[in-house]
A = this chain, B = another copy of it.
């Protein structure tokens, strides 16, 4: 900050321009209350002195800052980095800075980070928060909040609903002849994981097929890869993974076991990130990261004049299926010799 070099302040500009501090301040924040001539003069002097207002002093006096915080469990997940990039670009367009923080999937780290952020930002976007409902509510008392991909009653919540898309996917798999499906779960604390799991098991049951939920692993590529033996053991002919990261890890793990996707096993992912990077491309559901990133920022910055009814506190974008090459009919059963 300063100390390093004497930043120019309102006072410097005021002296140089021969006006009062308030006048300089108003030249920037409230120019219509000044004569056009004064405004122009002040702005010229300010530009010459390379003045720009000190955001921390401004934040202190106005009680609000031009920064928002964005908290994510894991920024190396491409879904999150895409969302962050979108949110950031969008905010910049509105003169708002984004304070991004990674919590390493850890609820208590998340809490610390949020407390820290709450006092320096105008609001927080919490992505896939791992905190307890209680803590989230508590935080919401302190600072405006938008929850992404999680719903907590009474707190603005924005998520991508992929129920319909997952139904569609299950239907396609069953229609292709799959009778034994598996679900590869994401982080246990994840709200989204519960949603996806529920949607899938509901539809699989409705279609009279069988679903086994695999043991939960690290929500990473390595985690997905490591789960491959477990998948084979389960006897499933199609695996629906929590997200693309797990799905692509699984595909690689299966390959190492000489099991080919989609010939031997079908695999689906979620979020449509990374899914086109691997071979074969993975059939997935869009996660709408870009759109959600922008919407979250907009909502957070919205004037809270809107009604507070429960329905107004939930916003949804719909996911849809993206078909790539990781799904096929199950291998025809080869009767093993008795």
Contacts and interface: CB of A to CB of B under 8 A. Distances in A.
Contacts of A67: 120
Contacts of A97: 99, 101, 113, 116-117, 120
A60 B60 contact: yes
B63 A1 contact: yes
Contact of A5 (B101, B122, B141): B141
A64 B1 contact: yes
Interface residues of A, number: 58
A41 interface: no
B115 A52 contact: yes
Interface stretch (A80-88, A129-137, A171-179): A80-88
A1 B143 contact: yes
A56 B60 contact: yes
Nearest to A142: B5
Contacts of A141: 4-5
A223 interface: no
21 contacts: A1-B65, A1-B122, A4-B142, A5-B141, A54-B119, A55-B120, A57-B60, A60-B60, A75-B75, A75-B81, A85-B102, A89-B104, A92-B112, A92-B113, A97-B101, A97-B117, A97-B120, A99-B100, A249-B277, A252-B277, A252-B279
